[in-house]
Amino acid sequence: MRPTTDQASSPAPATSLSRWWQRAVVYQIYPRSFADSNGDGIGDIQGIIVRRDSRAARGVDVLWLSPMYRSPQDDNGYDISDYQDIDPLFGTLDDFDRLAQAVHDRGMRIIMDLVVNHTSDEHPWFIESRSSIDNPKRDWYWWRPAREGMHPGAPGAEPNNWTSFFSGPAWEYDETTGEYYLHLFSRKQPDLNWENPDVRRAVYDMMNWWLDRGVDGFRMDVINLISKPGSLTDAHAVSGGLAGPVGFEHYASGPRIHEFLQEMHREVFEGRDAELLTVGETPGVTVDEAKLYTDPARKELDMVFQFEHMSVDHVSNRFDLKPLDLRDLKATLGRWQAGLAEVGWNSLYWNNHDQPRVVSRFGDDDEYRVQSAKMLGTILHLHRGTPYVYQGEELGMTNVPFDTLDDFRDIETINYFQDAVGRGRNPDELLREIAPGSRDNARTPMQWDTSAHAGFTTGDPWLPVNRNYQEINAEAALADPDSILHHYRMLIALRHDHPVVAIGDFTMLLEQAPKVYAFTRSLDGTTLLVLGNFSSDEVNVDLPDVAEWAGSELVLGNYLASTDQPGEIVLRPWETRVYRRG
């Protein structure tokens, strides 16, 4: 049985505490790297079940599972060959049912990754589609002939100039029928044609099947990319960059996206008794677009997963980085807080399976690892929105010192490296450049204890464990009352217990301060002041009413005792504080 709630189910503004997920915290599990129960070096469902009670972020409300469907694993499960089965790498459907029941027995919910922009090229739908031009499933995918006047298969003969998120053209020539198919990601991930109503019906049937089985919702992978214009014309841009691959503007929040999502809501979610969760990963989405996606009256999504704050340290892409300017981060996050203040809802995250570890990225993963990890968690969780904790974040897990290209498993990283070397880049220089931005930083195995391979497996792990697991692991964190883990548990409790954290008004302070992140949250006479020092220096907090705040209740911090003089607030390196009035 799913957990129940007596909260209202009719649409309500985001300023009221009417949705269970407004005060919830989500924990993401990347099954391949969480816990291995059978010694094959790959995490599995039984591993999740065994480790569920030692799960580092105990107290969370929702488990989000990255894909475990049957898959050739070209993109670690985001290339699905059977939506209604579990890949044998991870277990069986019976194993999944036992996990779902265990989660529900603890009053929690479980959501799955929904990957329906594309399938695997080994999915039966695509196998039929590519078999002949007149196959009934031909138009379940995007097929086009070579560019007019060019020989099929020749360089530059692709139907348009769009490029893939994973480097190279977004089209793959198929010799069987002499045409090209569209793949915005890997060539083994052909894009579904959502213009075809049969495709949509098959997807909705599959979603209903999982909900009937006990799943409590979906995190929808790149869901705003599913609607493409039928013309598939050339893009005007000649290079990608921060705006996305070439062609991105043609299909990001495409022409029928809202129609498709509203239809999905009617066909899958509407009329169900259970209160479910729909999270849309929406690369490139603007604040105004997010309002449309998440306005309850429109019945599309509950919240978006957007990337704007994840690009503030990018020059042209995730592998081309610059130092963080805190003012840029505040401007971005502040704009989203203001933009969704009355209508809409946002996900709050620093880490996931696609992002490097935040303590290495925006913090100090050396001398001040513990302090900066606590500060970053506090700043994020005290914003308005639904926080997501990615496995290992609550331990302060760090990026990895990759030495050679052979250390990587991520297809995006490997393709980028090979493409750049082919264009003349120096391999050694390039390796140093790509390592901090690689998705593999997030995918190293969970660090459970000090035993071999950090207790993740008794075999050889599919990706090596970070070398620092002797110091950074769940066993040590559980034993230390001042650990990052226990700090995260306090953050979770704050959101559960205090409505001001969930829905209070947000006001950014000190927008131009280069080292201090400061804001207030206010609701019904209670105000919180949240402070974070994004540096290894001591910083004086220059607020007009700082003396009054200095005498207020300190709700949470990451240093054991204050050294302030009366009437002042001086933040130590990577310090965070939360004060309360009212």
**For the purposes of burial, counting CB atoms within 10 Å of the CB of 571, is it exposed (0-12), middle (13-18) or buried (19 or more)?**
buried
In the chain, helix, strand, coil percent, each to 5?
35, 15, 50
CA dist 151 and 465 (Å) reads: 47
CA dist 319 and 431 (Å) reads: 10
Catalytic residues: 221, 281
Q: Strand 553-557 vs strand 576-581: parallel, antiparallel, or unpaired?
A: antiparallel
Count CB neighbours of 184 within 10 A: 24
CB 489 within 8 A of CB 59: yes
Could you tell me which residues are beta bridge partners of residue 507? 520
Residue 6, φ and ψ in degrees, nearest 5: -105, 15
Show the CA angle centred on residue 547, arms to residues 543 and 552, nearest 5°: 105
CA dist 162 and 158 (Å) reads: 9
The label of the residue with tokens 């991520």 reads 410
Q: How many residues in total does the chain contain?
A: 582
3-state class of 533 per DSSP?
strand
CA dist 75 and 409 (Å) reads: 9
CB 370 within 8 A of CB 553: no
